[in-house]
Structure 1
Amino acid sequence: MSSFAKGALLLALAAFFGECLEFLLNMILAKELGEHGMGMYMQLLPVIFFVVVISSLELPVSISKFVAEQKKEYHYSMLRHALRFVYKLTGMILIVVLVILPFLPIFSAYHPLVRYLLFLLVPIVSFSSIARGYFMGVQQMEKIAISNFLRKAVQLIVLYLLFQGLSFNESSALFIALAVLIGSEAVVFFYLFAQYLLQYRMMKQVTHHDMDGRDVHKALMSVSVPTTALRIFNAITNAIQPFLIKGALVVSGAGGVMATEQYGLLAGVAMSIGFFPAFLSHSIMVALLPNVSEAYAKQDGERLRSLLQQSMWVTFLYGIPAVYLMYWFAEPLTHLFFQSPEASLYLKLLWPYFLFHFFIHPLQAYLIGLGLVKDAFYHSVWSHIVSFLMMYILGSMSQFQMTGVILGMNMGIILLFLLHYVTICRKIGLSLFLLSSSRFT
């Protein structure tokens, strides 16, 4: 079995159990927070994700790519320079976050301490990014798998014990849910960084070659900057999307409270169920990146074609049955959260969004490995322009409302898939049907 297949399988197994825990976790949150509280929780998650993107500067991706492409003798020097860079990066980000957070109006509806949870998240994410990137690059996927499972397990156990043993109002329950989310990231940090320090000390004791710090920073930034720009853009659009959807629904005639509840059903129920199989696509993405980077560095066209064919066929084989089951069992699945006919309808209408989303993760990893991050960014910009435009136009029509929003989401994800897929096929010399058509360029 290839290193790609082994890594993807290990990550998929761990992620499956993690997603099972996530499913139970969302059920607990839905029952404790209610429809309105769940909507507020989901509304803040894109902001948290944005802080994560800024704090990590996509170092897991750039370090993983660098480590996969370089010989072992250069790893110690590269990581030493990367650690120094993270010290400076974390300090600058903490200053910016400390200055900006108190004045952001989005936090006015939440507990006063919520904004300071994000301040604590910055160093946690920054330093764990080094360890995560290194283990991805050397393909020690078992450590990544354990960390991903550990995050969900800690979050579920702590929330279950707190909500079962104590009673809270909506504001306090929402604060506790967010605090436990940040706390679970801290647990993952301690695990990953402890494992990383053991490896780092072992590398120091063997023969290693020094690298110029400026060359390391340049190599890391050549991947991190465009990848971070892509992730920031996606984070911004994800943060805007809840307000765009609510705005469109209000224009269509729905009240503010109803619009928040409908978004809670969409994001907290329908999308939680629909994204359940996405752990497989994410596992493929993490395992694919170092393999594609290594193959591209060696100019191994056959290996690149084989990796794309494998990842696409695997995604197709699990994606089709997954959306089929979600469509036909939409009602019993959504009733695990709320007895809401709207949630089951949303889940049925979103099947194209989920199916094509499963393909996006491995395709983005492929673009990064091929050095086509700018292409991925432009694709994302165009697809979001089309998606947001159609979401607002159709969603603001009284006869469509949330159905129109979902149609706009489906249009955007299909366009993004086509742009990614065609670009990769042209780059590595494959036809759209995964057959060799030309030489690798």
Structure 2
Amino acid sequence: MSKFIQGTIILLAAGLVTRVLGFINRIVIARFIGAEGVGLYMMAFPTFILVVTITQFGLPVAISKNVAEADAKGDTAKTKKILIVSLAITLALSLLFTPALLLLAPYLSQHLLTDSRTLFPLLAIAPVVPIIAVSSVLRGYFQGKQNMKPAAYSQLLEQVVRITLIAALTKAFLPYGIEYAAAGAMLAAVIGELASLIYLLTMFKLKKKFRVRKQFFKYVHEGKSTFKQLMEVALPTTGSRMIGSIAWFFEPIVVAHSLALAGVATAVATQGYGALTGFAMPMLMLPSFITIALSTSLVPAISEAKSNNQFNLIEYRIHQALRFSLITGGLAVVVIFVLSEQLMTAMYGSSTGTEFIKMMAPLFLFYYFQSPLQAALQALDLARAAMINSLIGAVVKISVIFLLASQPAFGITGVAIGLIVGFVLVTLLHFATLLKAYSFTIHIREYVLTVLIMFGTGMLGYWLLEYLDNVSMVASIFIITAIISVCYIILLLLTRLIRKNDLLSIPWIGKTLSKFAFK
């Protein structure tokens, strides 16, 4: 079994559990502090992502790519130099941005987010900066070695710690006000990141074959060429992520001001934004753990193949990643669209946000393609083009949000439309860039067949929904999801969208099938 498939499977398993735990986390937050509290949390959360992006500086991808190339040549000294230079960069950035965040938090909450209650969630973010500075470097190192277990287990540990603390902290702070409860939820995330870092440091100490502290400053001083190599990938990568993070940072600001122009009160705007970004979007983004796992494994896999001039393998890996994204994303879209109201009610105790899911789900298939396409561009030294695509998408998204959300006829629906336009545009631009720079065959048949299978299983789902009208909601969710999934997989097998090699590459399943099914 290839390192790419093995790493992807590990990340898939961890990603699935992490997403489920993340959903539990959001359910706890929603039930304790309601839509308005979730709105406060989600208005501060983009700042959290922006700070993380600045601190990481695009280095996880750059480290993963360069370590994979150094490892392919057996150059341990180069690997050590990459690690030391990366640590020096991220630690320096964390020392700069931690106090900056503390100083700017009052201005951000009062003037930009237009809701002073976001101050405490913003202040709770500050301790996470140095923690993420180190953990991002270690994750990039392990991914470059194509050892996905430490990164996967650290994600699981982070979520477990976060969920363990989230209920206790939100409940403890809630008597003081919703803003304090939202800050408690953010603080739980920070402590989760700390637990993740401690685990990564422990695993690194056990597995490393060199001493990092030995001649640390000498390596930093002599690391100009390594710094340059890292920046060739890190700058465009961080540019892409920075653009996305800045756009997300400005998103609640533009939303707040646009809805104010439309005559929507601040509290109502916060509640509506919470319903969209805190209820509907997490549901739609739940299946993206699959594409994120593929993307994380794709960068070192393509980088190693490129270093060894294995161009046929590069094309195969790209096709494999896109096909997996297509078939898994297609099933997710069908289930979420058909059972949107039931899923929202079962998880959040309210159908709030269902209308956004119905509107956005059909086009969310484009979103599931975005991460693998961006990973392929980064691994093929096209990170700068990916950055430009992200910039175009971000500008268009924010513009559409402002134009539509400021109109009373659209309101918060205009925000949802802006989000759709943004991710569809970026995905199409990434795909066009990859085709232009690296010509490969597009299997149109796979896309057409998948859409037809999605439509057919979706119609089956609606028929089952009416047929099981008298069955309890939770039971109907499980029954309908199971039947749709089985029918979907059978149709994929019959149309050869899932192939023998795909099944044989999975441990346990592959051994069983090789003994019986494919004799």
* TM value normalised by structure 1: 0.91
Secondary structure of 1:70's counterpart equals: helix
Per the alignment, residue 14 of structure 1 pairs with 14
Which letter maps to 2:299? Answer: L
Task: Within 5 Å, give how 1:156-305 maps onto structure 2.
Answer: 156-162=163-169, 168=175, 169-200=177-208, 202-203=209-210, 213-305=223-315
C-alpha deviation, 1:375, in angstroms: 0.5
Per the alignment, residue 438 of structure 1 pairs with none
Larger Rg: 2
- Aligned: 1:137 with 2:111: no
C-alpha deviation, 1:96, in angstroms: 4.3
Task: Please say which of residues 111-120 and 92-101 is displaced more in the overlay.
Answer: 111-120
Q: Distance in 1 between matches of 2:169 and 2:104?
A: 31
Which letter maps to 2:108? Answer: I
Are the equivalent residues in 2 in contact too, given 1:78–1:216 (CA < 8 A)?
Answer: no
Task: Within 5 Å, give how 1:361-400 maps onto structure 2.
Answer: 361-400=371-410
Task: Please say which of residues 214-223 and 164-173 is displaced more in the overlay.
Answer: 164-173
Answer 1 or 2: higher relative contact order, Cα 8 Å, separation at least 6. 1
- Counterpart selection for 1:423 from 416, 420, 433: 433
Measured on the aligned residues, the alpha-carbon RMSD in Å equals 2.4
C-alpha deviation, 1:298, in angstroms: 2.4
C-alpha deviation, 1:151, in angstroms: 0.9
Task: Please say which of residues 55-64 and 132-141 is displaced more in the overlay.
Answer: 55-64
Identity rate, percent: 27
C-alpha deviation, 1:339, in angstroms: 5.7
Secondary structure of 1:407's counterpart equals: helix
Superposed CA deviations along residues 310-365 of structure 1, whole A, max 9, x for unmatched, are 01111111111111111111111122355655510011111145321111011111
- Aligned: 1:49 with 2:56: no
C-alpha deviation, 1:84, in angstroms: 5.0
Which letter maps to 1:118? Answer: I
Superposed CA deviations along residues 55-103 of structure 1, whole A, max 9, x for unmatched, are 1122211111001111464234443463255235423542343145323
CA 1:389–1:146: 2 relative to 1, 3 Å: same
Which letter maps to 1:120? Answer: P
Which letter maps to 2:246? Answer: I
CA 1:434–1:341: 2 relative to 1, 3 Å: closer
Per the alignment, residue 409 of structure 1 pairs with 419
Q: Distance in 2 between matches of 1:52 and 1:331?
A: 33
Per the alignment, residue 439 of structure 1 pairs with none
Are the equivalent residues in 1 in contact too, given 2:40–2:118 (CA < 8 A)?
Answer: no
Are the equivalent residues in 2 in contact too, given 1:90–1:122 (CA < 8 A)?
Answer: no
- Aligned: 1:75 with 2:83: no
Which letter maps to 1:357? Answer: Y
Are the equivalent residues in 1 in contact too, given 2:41–2:183 (CA < 8 A)?
Answer: no
Task: Please say which of residues 237-246 and 259-268 is displaced more in the overlay.
Answer: 237-246
Secondary structure of 1:20's counterpart equals: helix
C-alpha deviation, 1:220, in angstroms: 1.1
Which letter maps to 2:196? Answer: V
CA 1:167–1:42: 2 relative to 1, 3 Å: closer
Are the equivalent residues in 1 in contact too, given 2:83–2:141 (CA < 8 A)?
Answer: no
Are the equivalent residues in 1 in contact too, given 2:41–2:118 (CA < 8 A)?
Answer: no
CA 1:219–1:417: 2 relative to 1, 3 Å: same
Q: Distance in 2 between matches of 1:57 and 1:24?
A: 30
Q: Distance in 1 between matches of 2:122 and 2:365?
A: 35
Are the equivalent residues in 2 in contact too, given 1:31–1:337 (CA < 8 A)?
Answer: no
Task: Please say which of residues 109-118 and 47-56 is displaced more in the overlay.
Answer: 109-118
Are the equivalent residues in 2 in contact too, given 1:82–1:216 (CA < 8 A)?
Answer: no
CA 1:273–1:112: 2 relative to 1, 3 Å: closer
Per the alignment, residue 357 of structure 2 pairs with 347
Q: Distance in 2 between matches of 1:34 and 1:316?
A: 34
Q: Distance in 2 between matches of 1:342 and 1:113?
A: 26
Are the equivalent residues in 2 in contact too, given 1:27–1:336 (CA < 8 A)?
Answer: no
C-alpha deviation, 1:51, in angstroms: 1.0
Superposed CA deviations along residues 203-222 of structure 1, whole A, max 9, x for unmatched, are 459xxxx9852221111111
Are the equivalent residues in 2 in contact too, given 1:304–1:428 (CA < 8 A)?
Answer: no
Are the equivalent residues in 1 in contact too, given 2:165–2:188 (CA < 8 A)?
Answer: yes
Secondary structure of 1:42's counterpart equals: helix
Which letter maps to 2:190? Answer: I
C-alpha deviation, 1:393, in angstroms: 1.9
Per the alignment, residue 31 of structure 1 pairs with 31
Superposed CA deviations along residues 148-176 of structure 1, whole A, max 9, x for unmatched, are 11111110112234556886332321221
C-alpha deviation, 1:272, in angstroms: 1.1
Per the alignment, residue 62 of structure 2 pairs with 62
Which letter maps to 2:178? Answer: E
CA 1:316–1:37: 2 relative to 1, 3 Å: same
Secondary structure of 1:4's counterpart equals: helix
Secondary structure of 1:335's counterpart equals: helix
Q: Distance in 1 between matches of 2:353 and 2:118?
A: 28
Per the alignment, residue 4 of structure 1 pairs with 4
Superposed CA deviations along residues 129-148 of structure 1, whole A, max 9, x for unmatched, are 22111110111111111011
- Counterpart selection for 1:106 from 94, 103, 108: 108
Q: Distance in 2 between matches of 1:403 and 1:115?
A: 27
CA 1:247–1:273: 2 relative to 1, 3 Å: same
Are the equivalent residues in 2 in contact too, given 1:11–1:145 (CA < 8 A)?
Answer: yes
Secondary structure of 1:350's counterpart equals: helix
Superposed CA deviations along residues 208-250 of structure 1, whole A, max 9, x for unmatched, are xx98522211111111122112211111000111222233333
Unaligned residue ranges in structure 2 (runs of 5+) = 111-115, 213-217, 446-519
CA 1:92–1:363: 2 relative to 1, 3 Å: closer
Q: Distance in 2 between matches of 1:252 and 1:164?
A: 35
Secondary structure of 2:437's counterpart equals: helix
